[in-house]
């Protein structure tokens, strides 16, 4: 597994992870892959509870965004308590703090959103006034644009907590990432998969990122085999789009790239939270330069008036 130029694998690696069931599944997945690559390395998981996990009574966009799920893990990396952290790429801020790097992006799972309901088969079946829960302004904006008669309300907590709130009757339906349900073996709870045309995914959705300190070139070398280049190119394009639009979970924004060989097809949207204004764009570009494709798509959205939407969201 190593060449004369590669650093010898360490005797021990520590993965920092949130302690939610889904985060731990993701960390164990990377743990297993590293153990196969480096059978003589002890790979352990250091579980942590982040601020994003502790504050559950407010919407993410009101308390600082998805970076709240990442900061404590980065603190563990900076302190040397852990060597690497595993994240869902859709939760990683578009600009990493100085001193950190995403060393690998693993092959993407299902990037789409899932509709879950005990009573109705699809979003279009929901009656006027039905309460639907989601944690995402991106999903809320798209649902409101298509179904303004529905009541969309914030839904926080881990996957199991969200399903329990549905089962307890707090919502008629909920929408969440299909990948999370499938990774937890909860495929049977998926009522319907929403196509990208119905609900454009978030940048990075379905992909796992492995983060380490930027000064750990040895670690970056060991992690390189985890990187799936087609997925990484797609995620880089999506994140460049979001970054150019100042994307965070305070912004209703979707970005989804698909690998088409030498080309990437990138779709994006930005909208108002109430769905009253939605801007869409699509471009195809060179797979070797995904950041330029993302920037070009952002420019297309700005040309349609995205700056006005962004300005409105800041008030």
- DSSP string across 138-193: HHHHHHHHH-TTSEEEE--S-HHHHHHHHHTTS-SEEEEEHHHHHHTT-GGG--EE
Token digits of residue 40: 């003589």
As its CATH architecture, domain 238-313 has 2-Layer Sandwich (3.30)
- The mean pLDDT of 218-246, rounded to a whole number, is 96
Q: Where in the chain is the domain with CATH 3.40.190.10?
A: 12-106+207-227, 113-194
More confident residue, 173 or 60: 173
Residue 52 has pLDDT above 70, yes or no: no
Does residue 4 have a pLDDT over 50? no
Question: Can you tell me the mean pLDDT for 239-262?
Answer: 88
How far apart CA 192 and CA 121 sit, in angstroms, is: 7
Instruction: Report, as residue numbers or ranges, the catalytic residues.
Output: 91
User: What is the predicted pLDDT for the residue at 156?
Assistant: 82
In the structure, how many helices (H) and strands (E) does the chain have?
11, 13
Strands 42-48 and 12-18: parallel
Pick among 3.40.190.10, 3.40.50.2300, 3.40.50.300, 2.40.50.840: CATH of 113-194 = 3.40.190.10
Q: pTM (2 decimals)?
A: 0.90
In the chain, CATH 3.30.160.40 covers: 238-313
Query: Residue 303 and residue 93: Cα distance in Å, rounded?
Result: 25
Q: What is the pLDDT of residues 57-84, one digit of tens each?
A: 445 444 445 556 788 899 999 999 999 9
What pLDDT digit, counting tens, does each position of 132-149 carry? 999 899 999 999 999 999
Q: How are the residues of the chain apportioned to helix, strand and coil, as percentages rounded to the nearest 5? A: 40, 25, 35
Among the CATH numbers 3.40.50.670, 3.40.190.10, 3.90.110.10, 1.10.3720.10, which is that of 12-106+207-227? 3.40.190.10
């Amino acid at each position: 597994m190593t060449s004369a130029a590669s650093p010898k694998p360490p005797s021990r690696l520590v993965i920092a992870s949130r302690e939610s069931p889904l985060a731990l599944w993701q960390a164990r997945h990377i743990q297993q892959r590293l153990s196969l690559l480096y059978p003589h390395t002890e790979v352990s998981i250091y579980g942590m509870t982040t601020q994003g996990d502790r504050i559950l009574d407010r919407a993410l966009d009101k308390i600082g965004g998805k970076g709240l799920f990442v900061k404590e893990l980065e603190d563990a990396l900076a302190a040397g308590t852990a060597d690497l952290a595993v994240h869902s790429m859709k939760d990683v801020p578009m600009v990493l703090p100085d001193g950190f790097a995403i060393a690998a992006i693993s092959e993407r799972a299902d990037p789409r959103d899932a509709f879950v309901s005990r009573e109705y088969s699809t979003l279009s079946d929901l009656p006027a006034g039905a309460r639907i829960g989601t944690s995402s302004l991106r999903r809320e904006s798209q649902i409101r644009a298509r179904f303004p008669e529905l009541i969309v309300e914030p839904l926080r907590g881990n996957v199991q907590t969200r399903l329990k709130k549905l089962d307890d009757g707090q919502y008629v339906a909920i929408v969440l990432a299909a990948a999370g349900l499938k990774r937890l073996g909860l495929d049977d709870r998926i009522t319907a998969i929403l196509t990208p045309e119905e609900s454009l995914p978030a940048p990075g959705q379905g992909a796992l990122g492995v983060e380490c300190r930027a000064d750990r070139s040895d670690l970056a070398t060991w992690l390189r085999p985890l990187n799936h280049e087609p997925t990484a190119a797609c995620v880089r394009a999506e994140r460049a789009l979001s970054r150019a639009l100042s994307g965070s979970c305070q912004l209703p924004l979707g970005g989804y790239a698909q690998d088409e060989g030498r080309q990437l097809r990138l779709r994006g949207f930005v909208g108002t939270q109430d769905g009253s204004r939605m801007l869409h764009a699509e471009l195809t570009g060179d797979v070797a330069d995904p950041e330029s494709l993302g920037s070009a798509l952002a420019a297309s959205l700005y040309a349609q008036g995205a700056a006005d939407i962004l300005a409105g969201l800041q008030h």
